[in-house]
Chain A
Amino acid sequence: ILNVEQSPQSLHVQEGDSTNFTCSFPSSNFYALHWYRWETAKSPEALFVMTLNGDEKKKGRISATLNTKEGYSYLYIKGSQPEDSATYLCALSDNFNKFYFGSGTKLNVKP
């Protein structure tokens, strides 16, 4: 079992603020790290897949970094908007594509 910790559990920011949250893992014994965005009453949707190379990923105002040596990944949102409000999930996948999810960071962006 791969342990995945996410922090903080929840986050409240004002529109326009930039924010970031963390996914921590105790070892690099995984194949890829995944970030998902999960809106209330919907299904999780993939944001990024990151391999152990650790290259930064970017999609619009959202970016993610991976530091396998120190055991964490950061997800950054620049200039948060109310539509960014969602739970952000981190998951590790192993060589057999079995996924291990963290419990998520719930982001609320106030207009």
Chain B
Amino acid sequence: NAGVTQTPKFQVLKTGQSMTLQCAQDMNHNSMYWYRQDPGMGLRLIYYSASEGTTDKGEVPNGYNVSRLNKREFSLRLESAAPSQTSVYFCASSRWGVGSTDTQYFGPGTRLTVL
């Protein structure tokens, strides 16, 4: 049981380049999330998917797009990377159902640097 996996672990981009961060979970969870973590700012939600087929914006969605490819996979795309998107990106998942108090399980993170 791998839990939540993310690829790549590290990435360096030049301003204007695009890339996709991949996330997959093998726990049959319904909900998946993308966060960014910046020093002194905790975890900020970029996008989330409450269930397969749905996606919603979080606190900081600008400059990102997401795809919930199937129940297992949730990808995050940077169309034109900017230095302000230098951060550590975490994917998470939770089982969820209405009225659930399930916690989130996090992937190992992707450290992205945009030059």
Chain A contacts to B: CB under 8 angstroms: 1, 31-32, 34, 42-46, 49, 51, 89, 91, 93, 95-104
Residues of B5-56 contacting chain A, CB below 8 A: 31, 33, 35, 40-45, 48, 50, 56
**Complex contact A49–B101 (CB within 8 A):** yes
Write the residues of chain B forming the contact surface with A, with a CB cutoff of 8 angstroms. 31, 33, 35, 40-45, 48, 50, 56, 58-59, 90, 94, 96, 98-109
> B42 contacts A101, CB within 8 Å?
yes
Interchain Cβ contacts under 8 Å between A and B, 10 examples: A44-B43, A49-B101, A89-B43, A91-B43, A95-B98, A97-B94, A98-B45, A99-B104, A101-B35, A101-B43
Point out the residue from A32, A44, A97, A104 that lies within 8 Å of B31, measured CB to CB: A97
Q: A34-B103, A97-B102, A103-B41 are in contact. Are A43 and B59 (CB under 8 A)?
A: no
Would A102 and B45 be within 8 Å (CB), given that A43-B106, A97-B94 are in contact? no
Q: A22: shortest Cβ distance to chain B, in Å?
A: 15
- B50 adjacent to A96 (CB under 8 Å): yes
Point out which of B33, B96, B104 has the most chain A C-beta atoms below 10 A from its C-beta. B104
Residues of A within 8 Å of B98, CB to CB, are 95
A-side contacts of B109, CB under 8 Å: 43
Task: Give B53 Cβ to nearest chain A Cβ, in Å.
Answer: 15
Contacting residues, chain A, for B104 (C-beta < 8 A): 34, 44, 46, 99
The one of B31, B42, B100, B101 that contacts A103, using a Cβ cutoff of 8 Å: B42
Q: Which of B33, B41, B90, B103 has the most CB of A within 10 A?
A: B103
